[in-house]
Chain A
Amino acid sequence: MKHLFIDTSVLINYTRKNDNVLRDLLIQQDKGEVELFVGVIVVTEFFSGTEINNVKFLLAAIKIFQEFFTIIEVGFQEGMKAGQLRRSNTIPLTTDAIIAATCILNDFELVTNDVKHFSEIEELKLYKIES
């Protein structure tokens, strides 16, 4: 079974019906073909959206994370790896580096609409989104 890490852009596109990527993956997850993970950065960014000020959206957001994903804990090892990625100048932003490090250390494929920001990291597996 593939273990996939969902980036914020993919989650936003699902909740705004911009594309079918996450919707299709949720169906695959139900069949036992993939397992979907997110980390604290994705949670933080999703909850940064101004829509969340509305209690209806707040409750839905909580449900989405409870029902769809396994939340992966990020700790010291991921921090060290993210630091190494930043030192090597393959990825400029701390948040991107933590996501990449989490994927590398847990053998996840990263599902993102922002491939260009992660493309210089050779160790990182990127999920190919069919267009």
Chain B
Amino acid sequence: MKSVSSFEFRDNLSSYLDLVEKKGKKYTLTRYNKPVARVVPYYNEGESALMLADKYFGFFKTEENKNESGSEFVDKIRRSDEALKESERMRNWDTNNLE
């Protein structure tokens, strides 16, 4: 968790609140280099860290994708035949091609 002085936080309050709200950033506020408070994103009442972690756990599982692992998904998207062919072309390319 990043530490920020209370003076720095006060002078840039709006920017810091944007980072907390939109990016989930957390800050420890310090006064004269001593930690005095934490600023963390607001969760709805009763929404603990565990609830947040569970919020989208399995949310995207469907009949169509239930048997596909993360690695298989990445192989399909990132390591398509076309990408692998391009990679092979790069491997076979050498400086002699410049002559």
Binding site for B on A (CB under 8 A): 1, 7-18, 23-24, 26-27, 30-32, 41, 45, 48-51, 57, 60, 63-64, 66-71, 86, 89, 92-96, 113-114
Known: A16-B60, A17-B61. A9 touches B23 (CB 8 A): no
Q: Is the CB of A15 within 8 A of B60?
A: yes
| Contact status of A31 and B61, CB under 8 A, knowing A9-B73, A63-B56, A64-B56 | no
A94 to B71, CA, bound (A): 17
Question: Shortest beta-carbon distance, B96 to chain A, in Å?
Answer: 15
Q: How far is the CA of A23 from the CA of B51 in the complex (A)?
A: 10
Asked whether, in the complex, the Cβ of A12 is within 8 Å of the Cβ of B74, the reply is yes
User: How many residues from B make CB contacts under 8 Å with A?
Assistant: 39
Interface of A is mostly: helix
- Most chain A CB within 10 A, of B24, B50, B70, B87, is at B70
CB atoms of B60 and A51 under 8 A apart: yes
